[in-house]
Amino acid sequence: MYYLVSSFSNELPWSSCQNNTWSTDRCWDYSEGKTPPNNSVPSTQEFFDRNVLQVTTGIEDMGSMRWDLFGYLCLAWILVYFCLWKGIKSSGKVVYVTATVPYLLIGAFLWRALSLEGSEMGLKFFFQPKWEQLLEAKVWVNAAAQNFNSIGIAFGSLIAFASYNPFNNGLIRDTILISLVDAVTCILAGMCVFATLGNLAYEQGTTVEEVVSNGPGLVFVAYPQALAKMPGSTVWAIIFFGMLLCLGIDSQFATVEVIVTSLKDGYHHLIERYLKRHEVLVLLICFVSFIFGIPNVMEGGFYYFTLIDYYTAAISLMYIAFFEVIAIVWIYGADRLARNVRDMTGSLPNVYIRVCWLVMAPCLIMAIWIFSMIDYTEPVYNNVSDGINYHYPRWAILLGWFFASLSLGVIPGFAIFEIIKAPGDTWVEKIRSSFKSRIDNCPCCQKSLDEKHEAHRLTDTVSTIV
């Protein structure tokens, strides 16, 4: 939102070092030459660090509140609230906009990116494999994390939204379609990114590797630098950051819907008694989430944000996904799950899908999670503007693991709780009984079968009468 609003100007504010309160002597205005001088800092980086974030020297110094970012944070949650306040019907209508408009913007941006000089350098870097890197565990961990984040695996959003589908919905078709659309979208977005980075490398007389950056640095440093070089830069900046806003809101309200659906399913009677209305529940969730987001928009908030992102992205998702697969496929049972699918779709899942359920998925997820633990290194924040690599203090590392434990600790905690209250005279009997599913038959499937039998009975009755 900050960058989108800043784009509505005759000249993009990050495109120059001149007459800016946030510029330093090291600021490099790339419009003056192709090759940056030694120890220089691009104007886009200084704009991001010193104007947008006004970043402090470390997480020990949180500084004061960035009130403009605080306002945008508040506005973001207001948008999320009004996307969800009327329930799944309102969010479904919003998705028609937030999920389709970005494709139009990606198409326009891809057309422009491919026409830039040097774009072929970026595309070559993007599509040319480096086979030797497949031997590195970190590559597989990052690839899995990308799939989990991109499709939404283990976030709960797929389960929450799927619960609103008709019982006989074609779930196999939907699964394949979502996977294919996601893959194509990732390729198109990757072409936009690397074609633009290729142009950036061409302008600076360097390689694509030198201008590639990870995380927010790509979106808020490298991309604005490329946008400022384009003819009609203001228009393209508005298109780009407008697209990011749509995608961000889309992902955010999908995540919030998980919390709303889970609370309504688990505490339906309490919510009806005390909160009365769906709108009040959504307002409460958005307000609490807004409060938890406030530390991120302080001057030292980016250190806090980086810490949360590092410890909750890949580590927690793999862990949660592994136990989801084990609980559903091995405890509830792959055979019963297959029969549920048959009741819904009319046919059993093929052998390949059942082998994936039982063996391939849990083994692959566990292997990737173990490798992510083996390759674990403590987070380091690269403060480019100050020219230092910031190492987090020990208490901050412990805080990061605390964030991770909020999701990691729930599973063993509830496992112990279930074992304690499970029937049995000995601990062995308790553990054995706790590993048995309490669901003998899916109630929805049984209801569907009863309806089918009733329909057949009525058909037979009518045939007899005729």
C-alpha 331/C-alpha 327 separation (Å) is: 5
The pTM of this model reads 0.81
Report domain extents, the chain.
54-105+230-297, 442-466
Burial of 232 (0-12, 13-18, 19+ CB in 10 A): exposed
User: Buried (b) or exposed (e) across 361-390, using 16+ Cβ within 10 A?
Assistant: bbebbbebbebbeeeeeebebebbbeeeeb
Helix axes 67-84, 278-293, angle to 10 degrees: 160
Q: What is the pLDDT of residue 445?
A: 60
234, amino acid identity: T
Residue 114 φ then ψ, to 5°: -70, -20
Burial of 254 (0-12, 13-18, 19+ CB in 10 A): buried
Q: What is the pLDDT of residue 454?
A: 58
The pLDDT profile of the chain, 466 residues, written as one tens digit per residue, is 999 999 998 888 888 887 778 888 888 776 655 566 777 777 888 888 888 988 888 899 899 999 999 999 999 999 999 888 877 666 677 777 777 888 887 888 888 888 888 889 999 999 998 888 888 877 887 788 788 888 888 888 888 888 888 888 888 888 889 889 989 988 988 898 888 888 878 877 778 877 666 666 677 877 787 777 777 888 888 888 888 888 888 888 888 988 988 898 888 888 888 888 888 999 999 999 999 999 999 999 999 998 888 888 667 788 888 999 999 999 888 888 888 888 888 888 889 989 999 999 999 888 888 887 787 888 888 776 666 778 899 999 999 999 888 888 889 998 999 899 888 888 888 988 888 887 766 666 656 555 555 555 655 665 666 5
- The distance between the two most distant Cα atoms of the chain, rounded to a whole number of Å, is 95
451, amino acid identity: E
Q: What is the pLDDT of residue 35?
A: 62
Q: What is the pLDDT of residue 74?
A: 96
Q: What is the pLDDT of residue 32?
A: 58
In sequence order, the β-bridge partners of residue 28 are 42
| C-alpha to C-alpha distances, 193 to 149, 160, 198, nearest whole angstrom | 18, 31, 9
Six-digit token string for 453: 């039998």
Look at residues 259, 194, 187 and name the one whose alpha carbon lies nearest to residue 226.
194
The CA-based dihedral angle spanning residues 239, 245, 246, 250, taken in that order and rounded to the nearest 10 degrees: 160
